[in-house]
Chains A and B, each alone.
Chain A
Amino acid sequence: MYKFLLCRRYLRTRYIALASIISVTLGVATMIVVNSVMAGFTTEMKDRIRGLLADVVIETHSLQGHEDPDALIARAMEAAPGMIEAATPTVEMYAVMSFDYAGEPIHRPVQLIGIDPRGKSKVGPLKENLASYQDVIKDGVIVAKAERKPNEPLGWTLTPIGMEIARREQAMMMYRHHLASAQNAGGGVVSAAGASAQGTDDGAAASDDWGGDTTFEPSEVAPVATAQDPFEAFAAPSAQPVAKKNGVLDGRLYVGKQLISVPFETAEGEIEERLLVHPGQSVSLTTVKAGGNGPPESATMAATVTDVFKSGMSEYDSRVVFCNIERLQEVRGMLVPDENDRTVKVGREVRLLSGPHAQQTGQVVRTDGPFAVVRLGNWYDPQQQEVSIPKVDCLPLSRSVTTVQIKLKEGVDEKAAVAALKRAFPAEQFSVGTWKDKQGPLLAAVDMETTILNVLLFLIVAVAGFGILAIFYMIVVEKTRDIGILKALGAGSRGILSIFLSYGISLGMVGAGAGVVLGLVFVHYINEVEKFISYITGRKVFDERIYYFPEIPTKVDPATVFWVALGAVFIAVAASILPARRAAALHPVQALRYE
């Protein structure tokens, strides 16, 4: 009893001891802040990467890809039962993106990922990275609302602003085309006039579409946006005319922001990112054709930029372009005869083997005895044409994919899932990896930074421990006589020891507790603190242009807080052991005589 009474009294009467634990408090607070911010960064970054990629990616090694995506997914589901929440086939291929800016052709190497928006949004929250879903925030104020509502599903439609841009580009292009025709054709006045008339009609029809129907199917406007694409004609004259098929979209893209923007300093000295290509404008993509044994053949497609994404990961923002998988498959020639299922039935995609439309592809709309009615897709002709053809002359097609993106169920161990999948997908044909494997060095660097900071900060707390030791020693010396009295009154060495140990524990708990509170408050108000410091110093501490986060992300991990606090208490106790032992070992007579 006297131990606690005395311990309490010593706490209350010796504020100098509290001074000694201020360093513990600060150390604990700093550790909590650092860990929270680091965890916030990592979590945010992981979320963003996962938005673009997926938990697990199965890739084929070949250019052709694998002809049966459904079978791949089924095999994955079987290999890792109960682990997979969603999977979507994609086509990933390197490509060169070309566009004109101020009359200069610009070419950028890109990683082209063909996706199906519906499947993709099940695998990763890509929406969160798309510009049209984000409010435009400047200095903490929303200056423009998001162009799309957050509940609008991921798709290839243009926003009204994008449509307007597309319309203007089209008009501009028509005008150029008109001029060129007028100059070129010696006696071609009529044909030029015809062309211009044709173009105007198209333009009018397109604008009607855009103005009247906001939930239009992209396939309706796609030909307009890209049919007269200047790159089709000028930048990529070798482009193969590719037939457009039913239910298949023309080229649509989400482009990484850094690919099509440049930093631009405004008159106020602020740096803005200027888009070189806006959603609605078109670019040209040159990639590699699938198949063939000789040297790789190039394939070029024109595509409209539908949206711009910004993940905050420079590596992706300056490299990745998402496009509609159907278009990419067509351009790359990934429509292959279906070896497994040769039945011709409604909805199947087929290639015609005979008749005037031989080699063209289309979709079976109905069957009629031995005949199938196929709706042809034609790239240059928006009219859709249906032909009746014997079933035997229809070659059912399947679409190859190179990659399957997989989202794992919550709480599933990635390593276990990868190991299971690796068994099912032989390494000679497939590679199975997590997004972490792709970002290994970066994450390792962040982890290492966190570890080093923790070690350094814990050393600070440990240094604080020596302060506690010194002050405790002084207190023991000061209290020598009292210790003698207590011993004379019958207190044992253990009792004396526990007075000072519990003193140490109490100080440690007070210090750690104050540190935890301070740290949590700091973390909670970290953005306000940042603003305040920026205001005082006149220099932005946290530049969102560098870090890509509008605010400092934080994530408080209760376990970390607990361990940090426990560590601090432990250090305080460890530092008090030596003085406490000295106190306990004091000889009562010498202690009583101590002056």
Chain B
Amino acid sequence: MNEQPQPLHAVAVEKAYRKGEHAVDVLRGVNLTIHPGEFVSVVGQSGCGKSTLMHLLGLLDSPDIGEIRLGDDRIDHLPSRTRDRLRNRVFGFVFQFYHLLPELTLLENVLTPLMIRHSMPAYWKNRKVYRQRASDILDRVGLGHRLTHTPKELSGGEMQRAAIARALISEPQILLADEPTGNLDGEVEAEVIALLRELNAEGLTVVMVTHDDALAKAADRTVRLLRGRVEDRIETPLRRAA
């Protein structure tokens, strides 16, 4: 984005899910600031609310209490169309199960955020530029030779790299990765983490949710969630990349 990167804040965020008559408190007052250019990992046991926190940060869901702020602006209460726009332009998402669209080729999958962003005539006018950009990005993640393959024909690592490429095409400020290596094994996992680090090194803010402490160490900073709250003491010192 051409705007100046701004920090993302979660201010006293609370979120509860209803299951029948019982309300399950998932987040009970989380305060968190993601600075531009940071690589933050959010760790915690499963069910501690880390995915929920990521969804709130990425405007996929809205908090019951508390605010999400981008810079000085509160963004969680905006009308849904504005939030859709922000999701499309400010945030990039990477999910544990890749979530590529099975009917589309890799190239089309990567192009989806741009198709969503632009109206049909606008997209059609610039389709060649966009395609070039998409294939460049796929090249970048090492999939330049598989542009026309469908997700079914790819391995898990390749799919996740394609998912990262899709997140990158909209040139987001913040990449939100939810267990990006949860379904991958050793070597492939390392590749994906390396890619994330590389992107972070180029200035992209990365928030990675994981249950794996070892992976979390790849990040500049680790935020540990415990029963819906941030465990203050364990926050690792800032370790900026060179």
Contact = CB atoms under 8 A, between A and B. Distances in A.
Interface of A: 1-2, 4-6, 9-10, 13, 481-482, 484-493, 495, 587-589, 592
Given A2-B115, A13-B103, A485-B101, 13 more contacts: A1-B119, A6-B101, A487-B87, A488-B58, A488-B95, A489-B88, A489-B93, A490-B84, A490-B85, A490-B116, A492-B80, A589-B55, A592-B60
A486 B58 contact: no
B184 interface: no
Q: Which of A6, A493, A495, A589 has the most CB of B within 10 A?
A: A589
A485 to B, nearest CB: 5
A10 B104 CA distance: 10
A2 B80 contact: no
B80 A485 contact: no
A587 B80 CA distance: 12
Instruction: Report the 5 A-B pairs with minimum CB-CB distance, sorted nearest first.
Output: A490-B88, A9-B103, A2-B115, A1-B115, A490-B87
Contact of B99 (A2, A492, A592): A592
Contact of A589 (B61, B84, B124): B61
Given A489-B88, A489-B93, A1 B120 contact: yes
Contacts of B33: none
Interface string B63-100: 00000000000000000110011111100010100011
A481 B86 CA distance: 20
Most buried by A among B80, B116, B117: B116
B104 A592 contact: no
Contacts of B117: 490
A495 B104 contact: no
Contacts of A493: 80
Contacts of A589: 52, 55, 60-61
B6 interface: no
B118 A489 contact: no
Contact of A588 (B52, B60, B119, B170): B60
B45 to A, nearest CB: 18
B116 A491 contact: yes
Nearest to B114: A1
Contacts of B61: 587-589
B227 to A, nearest CB: 20
B93 A488 contact: yes
Contacts of A495: 116
B88 A482 contact: no
A230 to B, nearest CB: 89
24 contacts: A1-B120, A1-B124, A2-B116, A5-B104, A5-B108, A9-B103, A10-B103, A484-B99, A486-B101, A488-B99, A489-B88, A489-B113, A489-B170, A490-B87, A490-B88, A490-B89, A490-B116, A490-B170, A491-B84, A495-B116, A588-B61, A589-B61, A592-B95, A592-B99
A484 B61 CA distance: 12
A583 to B, nearest CB: 14
Contact of B103 (A1, A6, A489): A6
Nearest to B119: A1
A238 to B, nearest CB: 92
A481 to B, nearest CB: 7
Contacts of B116: 2, 486, 489-491, 495
B222 to A, nearest CB: 24
A495 B124 CA distance: 17
A374 B88 CA distance: 108
Given A1-B120, A493-B80, A487 B60 contact: yes
- Of residues A2, A6, A491, which shows the largest number of chain B Cβ atoms within 10 Å of its Cβ? A2
Nearest to B98: A485
A257 B58 CA distance: 87
The secondary-structure label for the interface of chain B is helix
Contacts of B31: none
A482 B109 CA distance: 11
A576 to B, nearest CB: 18
A593 to B, nearest CB: 9
Given A1-B123, A4-B120, A481 B113 contact: no
B203 to A, nearest CB: 22
Contacts of B170: 489-490
Contacts of B60: 487-488, 588-589, 592
Nearest to B104: A9
A589 B63 CA distance: 13
Given A2-B112, A589-B61, A485 B84 contact: no
Contacts of A592: 60, 95, 99
A1 B118 contact: yes
A493 B60 CA distance: 13
A324 to B, nearest CB: 75
A2 B118 CA distance: 10
Contacts of A6: 101, 103-104
Nearest to B100: A485
A158 B47 CA distance: 105
Interface-centre pick from A9, A484, A495 (highest chain B CB count, 10 A):
A9
A484 B97 CA distance: 13
B134 to A, nearest CB: 13
Contact of B84 (A1, A481, A492): A492
Contacts of A484: 99
A9 to B, nearest CB: 4
B71 to A, nearest CB: 20
Nearest to A488: B93
Contacts of B113: 489-490
Contacts of A490: 84-89, 113, 116-117, 170
A552 B170 CA distance: 64
A490 B52 CA distance: 18
Interface in B35-49: none
Nearest to A481: B99
B41 to A, nearest CB: 20
Which of A1, A4, A491, A587 gathers most chain B CB within 10 Å? A1
Nearest to A8: B103
B43 to A, nearest CB: 20
A489 to B, nearest CB: 5
A495 to B, nearest CB: 7
Contacts of A485: 95, 99-101
A481 B81 CA distance: 20
Nearest to A595: B97
A103 to B, nearest CB: 87
A170 B52 CA distance: 112
Contacts of A587: 61
A13 to B, nearest CB: 6
A481 B96 CA distance: 13
A487 B124 CA distance: 22
Q: Give the interface centre of A490, A491, A492, A587 by most chain B CB atoms within 10 Å.
A: A490
Contacts of B119: 1
B89 to A, nearest CB: 7
Contacts of B102: 482
Contacts of B99: 481-482, 484-485, 488, 592
Interface in B154-197: 166, 170
Interface in B91-147: 93, 95, 99-104, 108, 112-113, 115-120, 123-124
A409 to B, nearest CB: 52
Given A10-B103, A592-B60, A592-B99, A489 B80 contact: no
A382 B100 CA distance: 105
A492 B112 contact: no
A278 B108 CA distance: 82
B80 to A, nearest CB: 7
A2 B166 CA distance: 14
